[in-house]
Structures are given as C-alpha cells and as structure tokens.
Chains A and B, each alone.
Chain A
C-alpha cells in the first residue's frame, strides 16, 4: 500500500507499472485512466502522427524528446480517424503551440480524444528501463484533484493481459469497405493552399487489407496512381479477389501477429496462390511471413524511432526509416524460396523479404514515413511496377 503522504502534493497524474512502481507527474489531456504496454519513441518530430498511428493500439507512448506539443495539433497530421495509442508520457509540460499549421494545442487535442498525458517524468530513465528489462504494463491515470488509488492502478496494470496473443488489428481495422483517393501532402507558398492532393485518373486498382493502416500508406498508393479499396482485416481472400484488384496490399497494425494470423493467414495463403502482386508493411509483413510458413517472436526491445538504418541488400543503399514494431520475423524460420531483402543495421534483424520468382515482397519498417524520413517511398513505386 503506497503511503498517501508519498504522493507529491502537486501531482495530478501517475503512471503505475505492474511491479508497483508509481511515477508521479503533472496531468495533461483527459482526466481518465488507461491501461496498456508502456513503450517509447525516439522521434524528435511528428508526435501527432505517432499518437494516431493505429499500430500503437494498446500502448502508452513515452516520448524521449523532452519538449512535445510545440507545434500543437491539426487535422491534417492524423494518421487515422481517432488515435489508437492510449496516452503519453512526457518530460516537459505541454506548451502552447507555435506553428502556422497549428489549429489547437496538444493538451486540448488530447482531451478531445480522451487521452491522458503525464509530464514531469524522467523519460530517459523510463526509456532505459524499457530498453533494459522490456516494455512494462502500466496504468496511466490523470486526476486533477491529485487523488489516486495506487493499489487499484497497480492491480489494473498487473492484470492487463499484455499484447502477446492479443489481436488488436480487429479493433482498429475499418469495419466497412471504402475507397481511398487522397494523395500526398503538398506545401504552397502562401501557406493557405497547403494540402493533400486527389488522384483523379486511376491506372491500377489495389485492395488494401486494413490491419490498422496509416493513412500515409494509402496516400502513397494513391500517389502511384492506384485506386485503393480498403477492406476490413477479416475480409476473406475470395472477397478480396472479388474486387478484381491488380495487386493486394497488407497494411501495418498493432498487436501480436500470431493472434491476428489465426484468421488472416489462411486467407493470405490463398492470395499468395492467386499470383497477384502483394506488398506488406509492418504487421502486413509479419502476416505475409506467417503465411509463407515463417514464425514471429516478441523482441526484447522493439524498434521505435525515425532514425533506424536499413540496408537494401539488393542495391546496397542505406535508407533511414521510421519504425514501430515489437515483434519480428525470425530469420531462421524463413522457408526456402523466401529471401531477406532488407536488414536492420542496428541489430541485424529482418527488415524485408521477397518471394523468389513471385511479385510478392514486404518490409518490417514504415516506408510511408509520417513521421520520419521519406527515403523508402521508392517501395511504393516498386509495387506499382509489379502491378504492370
């Protein structure tokens, strides 16, 4: 039982980890409690894109960069309709925004999305802990009156089942099929006409299986001249092929690939057999690997940042990539006929594969960026070529 006197008098938020560690701070955003896996992200820009990345479902994000919120929030920097992350842990207080693109402050934005935030935390300390002993389960509670039931929060964290075995893709996937035609962001000199483009003359048709797709993936596909039909994660191969696509895209998404794979893999095997070009990203990459007969495992510490070097083994070029994954394809489990095409230069792990002799490939990282460097946009062009 935590001594109530140990609660700092000005604390308005607490992050309680499953082992009982209580980290106090100042509350931001919504006065709610959220329970999930505590992870970190080392990007110095793009917090709004990160918070709205569906792959962060079930996770509380620790931002390693101390100042977050400087540029506020705006509707254009959403990667999905509503944020999937559960909350955020920050070093410094959220400030008023200073940027011509800002429509509101981050604090306000968090509130409106029912997300809690805690500031005043030594996020580097927390990050080192996550790095060394793995991502803990935690309960983040914002309480403006400073009253917390630490024991109850600890129990919540300890009882949380964890991501392993959790099929989160279903939660964040769209429930109905829709068509996507928005292309990439463009800046205009006057600032007022900045915006996304629209693809008007589709050359090809791609069905994207939405395990939790980031919008920038869809924008990249549209920018390649593809009409994109986005379908729910549970869509069957027959339904997908029924749309008559030139190619199939497997999106990123949250959770344990093995759990999602239970229903997705059998369908994927049929898609592979169809001979259609397939391109997978992140969870989509893991689904593809599973369908090809490989295995995935939870990483000791995931890759979460926008500075990860990946080598394209075919061209020898190094690309700086945006990454967000806690599971990885086990190289030893790859069957014959599947080649590793990309490798992490940080830890040597598999970052990309292809099926020999077939128009099928996938990458573990996020070539769509947003946030992060656009070095890997070429993969969308590569996919486009495969579409004929």
Chain B
C-alpha cells in the first residue's frame, strides 16, 4: 500500500517543556516524524512550546508554532492552517491529551481533521483504566484485580477487593503522577485523595499489588495491513513497584524461555489489535509472577514513548520514523531498514549484546522530597550502555551516569558499620527501592550476603544478582592478586566492564598507571556495530559500541570501526539529562553535527543518552554510543586516528560533561577545537579571572575564594553579608546558596566538602535588587557577534536557568545594553574565545557587574537561536573549525518581536519540597512565548508553562519588607483590573497607606481561618508571596505548598508578579493569537 495522497498537510503536536516523565525522547521522536513526513512531501505543521528542541528548528517543519500546547491554542493553529490530519502519537501524553480534547470539543470534526496513527477510540481505550481492563478481559489476557473509583467514598470497598499493599493509579496523568503504593490504611487514604484531585477525570484505579514480580516491556509496531513486529523486549531489573522510567532495565529480556517470550509476543500484538492502534509504535507492559509464570498485562501506551526511544537506540530500528511513515499508509515491507541498507523494515531486530539503562535522579536538589522509588516517576534522565555481556553493559552504564561512579563502586550500607555485618539491617535496607539500591545490593554481596538472601530482600531476579556477584568475585581476586600480568588476564577483566579507574580503586593505583599498563600490553577495546541483525547481514551504518574481545585463532580481536580517511571532527555530547544540563546542550551538539557535515567534515558523535537526537544514527556520520569518560573517549579517538585526520574534538557544546574531559584529552595529545581549555579554566579560576577583569577594567561583585571555614568567614566579613556561596566547577548552581549570616556560612561549609571535592568554594557579594542579564555571543578570535541580550525577569540571585527572561530586554536603557555588549566583546577578546560564550551580568543603578563568564555553549543558545533566527550553534561550530564570522551574514538589529523564556519546575513530583526559587537551579525545562509585545509573549510563556493566569477574582499578596515598596504599584494595577486583594497584616498596612483596599487574612501561625484555609476553600485565584530568612520561609511553606498542590497560580518574586499583571492586562486587550516562527524570522535555515 503506497502512501496516502488524499491528505497533504499533517499537524504534529510536540510534548512541550522537558518535565519528569517527558524528556527529550519526544524531541527525538518528533524530529524523526517531521523529517520523515516532510521527505514524503507532506506539509508538516508543528506545535511545540519548547524552544530547546531540534523539532522546532525552522527548517524541520514547514510551519512551526512555538505556542502553548493547550486545546484552545492548538485549535487556533488548526483554524489557521487547516491541516488534513493530526498525528498525535509523537508528543507523549501531552499530545495525546490535547488531541483527545480537540476531538471531544468538536474542533477536529469542525475543520475536517483526521486523527492518524491512533484514533480517539484507541486513545481512550488505552488510557482509560476501566476500558483497558475490559478490553484485556475480552481478549483473554489477565490483569491485576482492581477497582476504578471517582470519589473517596468508594475507596473502602475497593481496598477490601484488592487488599494491602495496594497500588493507586490516577487516570490520565503523566508518568504516573499522583500515584503510589499504600502499605497501610493511612497511606492508602492519603494517596487516593491526592490521586483523585490530580487526575483530570478525577478517577483513580486501585489495584492488586504485584510488587516483587518481574516486569517486562514489549515495543510493538503495526502497519495498516496488520503486520505486527516486536522491535525489542525490555526486562526491568527492578521488580514491579518501581515506575519503569525509574527502573534499571536491560534489553533484550534475559530470563524468559521461548515459550514465555512467544506468549508475551502474542499478547502484546493482541493488545494492539484490540485497542485499535491501526498503525505505529506502542509499548505494552507485563508483570510475571516469578514463582508461577502467571503473566498479567499492566498497561499500554498507544504512542511512541521513552521506552520506544530506548528500544530504537538499543536495536538501531527507528521506531518513530517508521511509525510516521506507517501513519500515512505505508506498510512495513515497503520501508527500508536504514541500518543494513538492503533489507526491509518488516523484520524483528535481533541483537548480540546487552543493553542496560540506568535512570538518573536529583533528589539532592529537592530537600524534603521522598527519595523512595514508587510508581510515580522521579528520575530526570537516563544513561544507556551497550556491552557484550550484562557485566560489561552494567559497569559501562554506571560510569556513564556521571554521578562519580567508575563502576560498581563500594558504598556505605546500613548494617555494616564498625566492620559488623547486621544481616537484618542490611536486608531491611535492600527491601526499600531507592535510587542507589543496586549499589547497596552489590555492597551487601561484597560483605558476604548470599544471592538468595539479597534476592529475598529486594526481589531482583537472581540471574542479575549472580552476575553482580561475579563482578564482586573478580574484584576480590584483583584485590588479592593485583592487576593482571598478561594479555589474557587483562582481556578477561576488561571484558567484564571494569574501567581503568575502577581497577585503580581496587588495586590501589592511579588510573593513569592502570591505563599505561593495559595499553603497554596492547590491550585495547574493539568496536562492534549495532546492525539490527546480529551480523547475519552486512551493515553499512557506523553505529558502534566498544567492548573487549579475544581474537579468534590467535589473531587480533576483530574491530569493526573501519575509520575512514576523511577529515573528521568528534563531538562529545552531554550524557544523561540532569537538572542544569539537558536538551539545550544536545541541541548544540546536533547543530554542530549538521553544520560540520555541511562544511564537508566527517562528524563523529559520542554520547550515552538514549533519549536524544544526538544519538540518532542519522544525526552524524558516525556514532559511538559510549560513556563520556576519559578512558572511553580517548580509546575511540585513538581508533579514529588510525585513518584520516582527526581535526579535533568539540568539548564546549555538551555542558560540563565533555569540558571535564578536556584536560585528559589534551594530555593524550588529542586536539580540542575552539576556545582553549586553558581559557575555559581561566574563566573558572577566580584568581586568574580577577586579574583579567582588572586588566580590562571591568567590575565584578566583591568576592573571594576559600578552602576552609575560617577563610570563608573572613572573606564574608570583608565583603559583607549577604553573600552567594558555591563550589567551583559545577553546573546548574548545584549547592549554590545565598547566606545571610555567619551561622548559615558555617552550616554551608560543613556540608560543602561533599559537593566540592578538592575544589574550593567561591564567595561573592550578593547584589540585592539587581537586574540580571544573560548574553550569548560567538567569537572567532578577531570578531565578536553578540547573538542575544536577555533580561531576566526575576532579580539577580535566582538561578539564571530558573528565571524567566526576555529577548530583547524589556526595561533596560539603551546605554546599559550598549555597555553590556561592549563588555561582552572585551571579554570575548580577552579570553580569546573561538566559538560560543555566555556572560551573566548584574545591573544595579546603571552599574554593570560581571557575575560569570562561560566560554562554552550555554543553556540559552537554542532560545536565542529561535528568538532571533540566527543558528548560532551552527555558526559557532564552523568558526571552531576555522571559518571566520565575516563569512556569515549576521543581523545587526534586534528583532521587532519579543520572545520570553520561562522555566518549568518538577515541584509537583516532590511533595514536601519548597517551591521558592534561589541560586540553585531546580527547573527541568523551559518554554518560549513569542509575540509582538513583551506582555503578550510573557502571557504565552506562562500559559505554555502550565500557569493559567486568572482574569479576575481574588489575589492573595504577602511580601517581604524589601518588596513592600514595589508591591504597591502591582497591587494598584491589580485593583484597576478589578481583582480583589487579600493580604497579610504587614502588606495590608502598606497597601492601605497607598490608598488600596484589601481584605486582611491571617498568616498560618496567627490562628484560623488563615490564608491556607482560604486557599483550600477555593477562595484564592492568584498568589503573590515573597519571603526571606530561614524562619519566615519555614512559616510560610504551607501556603506555597497549597498553591502548588491546588494549581493556584503563584509568583514568589515581585518581578515575576509584575510581569504577570502586565500579561493579564494585555490579554484583556485581545485574545492570544498564534503565528508560525517562520513569519517572525527571515532568511533561510
């Protein structure tokens, strides 16, 4: 069946900002879909509010709407574009829910838009717990006992039916949000109440616990002719009870007999048919009782997912790309398997390696959050590793996580203090699913617990535990005998995945010594190809991973890398997503690959994050799916150096990850492109940087560097409190704090050692009430191009990643902007920047201070590129490869539209944590609002970030003393807009003095009914609350917490509130309209 010709334009909805449960895997899928459909000649229309995506590059779709993904706004896009079809399966839950809403409200019917890929009935059958259950029963598949309830009164009966522990799953929430496991009645009632509230349909499913069962996933693809194929099976190492996104998983499934596997295969295909997914990819999850083999269906997603991205990377089969083509009528046998280049897509990939995925968590950023893993997803990123065996794959994944691990490192374990082994304490510890449980499991084996004991405690399948025990047995031999002395010994130990660093730890040597000895014996990794077919068919695609092998018949181990004789540039990616380092950096790496390919270089990507566009085999000429450690990178670069010419590595685009490798690469005589690592170090090194600023006669806030508490106190005393304190060499403001008094400083220093390691802490004077400015620039050593000047909405002191910002600046004087640009140029030249540079300034009373300079890609690069239409990451990479800025046509004027970036936070995932913003970054993603005026662009940014600004009603205002002057103007504006104001005493007094009436309300500590009572009763529509000082913050916690959990829009800074009020006023002047990015921008992309 050839493609459909009765449709010519297709709307794709993206997933919006990066949040927990929806990360860059949907950029990967969406980009593939856009490209595939465009290639087929369809007009592709895209809606996505996330500017940091490749899919929103103006060249990816024909019309790109960076607009809020709400049914109302998407309806406007439909009205304007009149697409023939809507493909709702590429943008995660966001796209499915939006498509569902547009179906229900009649928009699709009104404009004659056909849902392709999955229709409304299929979406609802899959997503609605009750319908799904009935569908499964209809086809004879088992599901857990359960009851669906939509009010709390029915909870009792449901609990009786399923028993404790019980699983609670709210309907239609993302990543299992609001769900959980209840072990007792109290927990049960609490989770059910919360779940009913969070579910858009106010429904929760109460389900029989299958905790401890084995969990599997099948990635299925179906075409119009009902051909069904399994792309990949995935087995969760963590048993049932941990959200699959938070589970360590392996591919393929390793503990099923063929009979069980085929039963699961049949079941997953039957599920797709019954649910009615006509074409495309779906994911079906199963639980298996390890004792009896009883198989039950847990759920299915009728769309591409995080798991399908993982399966695509694990096998080389591009599920989203194929799914997009199937949606327009192709059948699988009509499509090619790109990897082999000579077989069709209608087959099932078979692999000859083991893939391990490990999630990455950031609980350290959310004090008060419950760090136990449950059915509600909490991880922010993941790493994938490929090895020939589970041992190798696991240890590669652990070191790729970049949490400081070099393998299966020893950890502290409760019950092993003082050299004692308290088996009961250990097993109690292992029974709780936590982020580092696997390491604890290894530690338990290390201190002598048996596989059986550990299995009973954690229910991880003994097969995995045995393999870990083998790793530990190997460790013990190394401890006793030292490093191997011959090639065979080295091959054996390296093929278990031990890194040189880990071997050094075990045998008490420096990593360099270990590497030197290994390489001295000629023991080097070889590279194998991911070819979808376990070598049965020759493959033309250089998608590779490293492993250690023994040659057959006395020959050298076979290496399939086959480096070409080209001029090549190696791009080092950013590794697993984390807060502070995510999709923005992947965007930059992808742009580098595109631009340098265009410039005629062979591009080679190295990364280990399966969610990304950078790890699509299509993005670069060659792809190494490898951990970003010095050992792994140097080995592959050396391999590439065997033929052709390695021009250099790009280490500035992947965030902190590749930068950390710069020194080791230089030491290994591997050239680094662009700004020298020394200049990057200069910008980070306080003393050297200060000297540069003095030479350039530029100002920075008073500051100092301390390596001890005494020294820190002395410095703080000199420069005066409050001070900003942070460790050096961190990204995302990790452990950055504003301290107001010596006690705070001492507390910080007590804890700081852990986060800063050998590096000193930096102390800066904190500039109160200053405006922060971000500047992104590209320099070539001669010229400097200022790509964007962004004014932060929130004041200096809020992490730049968490602050909203406006491009062009909204309130700054021309004079100040020109001064900022002048200083940026001086710094670029002073640091001899070749490539990208980001500078953060603070402006107070017309004075410009330099807060930070980073001669590398910044988080704002994609935003600037989208806002201005200048592909700065592409230009920067070509400059790094030797071209001059003068060769590019660059705009000289600011755009006439305004773009606002707003941050998106995961607070709802971490009940118990405070939503107040500070110098430590907490946001997971961002959205962009773009319009003709600041106020409207800001309004869009709020809507896109999920904040629905009220058009009237009651605003609650309570601000700290420092903000009282500023709040008057804001309150006046709200009063004029017809809001009634509710305020706490102090604030109300100030307003009264200014002639503004307000209703006085008690603080929580002042007795009842207080403000939280009012909020809970639904009497508050908007919250403006600023606060400072540890005590005041604690006292007002419940009010912010209530705003968060009850979806009441809130602002915790006056500047944010001011912008919100302007936005509310602007929306009164006319509804928000949608405009494609391509009309704002000019030029070709």
Chain A residues within 8 Å of B, Cβ to Cβ: 6, 8-10, 17, 20-23, 40, 42-46, 48-49, 64-67, 70-71, 74, 76-77, 91-92, 95-96, 98-101, 120-129, 131, 185, 187, 189-192, 194, 301, 304-309, 311, 316-318, 320, 345-346, 369-374
Contact = CB atoms under 8 A, between A and B. Distances in A.
Contacts of B230: 373
A106 B346 CA distance: 33
B352 A305 contact: no
A154 to B, nearest CB: 11
Contact of A98 (B350, B461, B534, B549): B461
B553 A320 contact: no
B293 A191 contact: yes
Interface of B: 142, 225-227, 229-230, 252-263, 265-266, 289-295, 331-333, 343-344, 346-354, 388-390, 461-463, 466-467, 488, 528, 533-538, 549-554, 557-558
B352 A45 contact: no
A92 B389 contact: yes
Contacts of A372: 258, 262
A127 B535 contact: yes
A129 B536 CA distance: 10
B347 A70 contact: no
B352 A369 contact: no
A100 B210 CA distance: 17
Contacts of B463: 70, 95-96, 98
Contacts of B254: 67, 70
Cβ-closest 8 pairs across A and B? A191-B292, A46-B258, A21-B553, A98-B463, A371-B258, A64-B534, A307-B348, A42-B534
B550 A22 contact: no
Nearest to B557: A122
Given A92-B389, A99-B255, A306-B350, 5 more contacts: A49-B258, A66-B352, A127-B534, A131-B538, A318-B225
B78 to A, nearest CB: 35
A22 B553 contact: yes
B225 A66 contact: no
B290 A100 contact: yes
A192 B557 contact: no
Contacts of A129: 552
A314 to B, nearest CB: 13
Contacts of A127: 352, 534-536
Contact of B549 (A8, A44, A125, A131): A125
Given A125-B549, A311-B333, A346-B537, A189 B352 contact: no
Given A43-B350, A44-B252, A124-B535, A318 B259 contact: no
Nearest to A126: B552
B262 A373 contact: yes
A99 B552 contact: no
Contact of A307 (B258, B266, B347, B462): B347
Contact of B552 (A44, A125, A185, A346): A125
B347 A346 contact: yes
B824 to A, nearest CB: 52
19 contacts: A45-B256, A64-B352, A76-B259, A96-B466, A99-B260, A122-B551, A125-B551, A125-B557, A131-B537, A301-B536, A307-B350, A307-B533, A317-B225, A317-B226, A318-B346, A345-B347, A370-B259, A371-B258, A373-B348
Contact of B389 (A44, A48, A67): A67
Contacts of B348: 306-307, 320, 373
Contact of B535 (A20, A43, A46, A131): A131
A110 to B, nearest CB: 17
A123 B352 contact: yes
A23 B294 contact: no
Contacts of A22: 553-554
Contacts of A42: 350, 352, 533-536
Given A23-B553, A66-B354, A67-B390, A187 B534 contact: no
A65 B352 contact: yes
A305 B343 CA distance: 15
B293 A100 contact: yes
Given A128-B558, A318-B332, A121 B552 contact: yes
Contacts of B554: 6, 22
Contacts of A20: 553
Contacts of B262: 45, 369, 371-374
Contacts of A311: 333
Contact of A318 (B227, B289, B350, B352): B227
Given A189-B294, A191-B293, A345-B333, A45 B258 contact: yes
Given A100-B292, A345-B347, A369-B262, A320 B388 contact: no
Given A307-B350, A369-B262, A191 B535 contact: no
A373 B462 CA distance: 27
B488 A8 contact: yes
A10 B488 contact: yes
A377 to B, nearest CB: 10
Given A45-B261, A71-B255, A374-B262, A64 B350 contact: yes
A185 B346 contact: no
Nearest to B387: A66
Nearest to B333: A318
A345 B343 contact: yes
Given A91-B388, A101-B257, A346-B343, A125 B558 contact: yes
Contacts of B344: 309, 345
B350 A305 contact: yes
Contacts of A192: 292
Nearest to B262: A374
A371 B350 CA distance: 14
A91 B389 CA distance: 8
Nearest to B347: A309
Contacts of B390: 67
Give the interface centre of A96, A122, A373, A374 by most chain B CB atoms within 10 Å: A122
A65 B252 CA distance: 10
Nearest to A74: B257
Nearest to B550: A122
Contacts of B536: 40, 42, 64, 127, 131, 301, 304-305
Contacts of B535: 42, 64, 124, 127-128, 131
A71 B347 contact: no
A230 B869 CA distance: 75
B536 to A, nearest CB: 5
B1018 to A, nearest CB: 48
B552 A373 contact: no
A22 B347 CA distance: 35
B553 A185 contact: no
A308 B536 CA distance: 11
Contacts of A91: 352, 388-389
Contacts of B346: 309, 318, 345
Contacts of A6: 554
A127 B531 CA distance: 13
A74 B257 CA distance: 10
Given A96-B466, A317-B227, A318-B333, A308 B293 contact: no
A98 B255 contact: yes
A67 B550 contact: no
Contact of A71 (B257, B333, B352): B257
Contacts of B290: 100
A23 B553 CA distance: 5
Nearest to B348: A307
A372 B259 CA distance: 9
A191 B291 contact: yes
A341 to B, nearest CB: 16
A113 B110 CA distance: 70
Contact of B352 (A9, A121, A124, A131): A124
Contacts of B257: 45-46, 48, 71, 74, 77, 99, 101
Nearest to A43: B350
Contacts of A185: 259
Give the interface centre of B350, B537, B552 by most chain A CB atoms within 10 Å: B552
Contact of B258 (A120, A191, A345, A370): A370
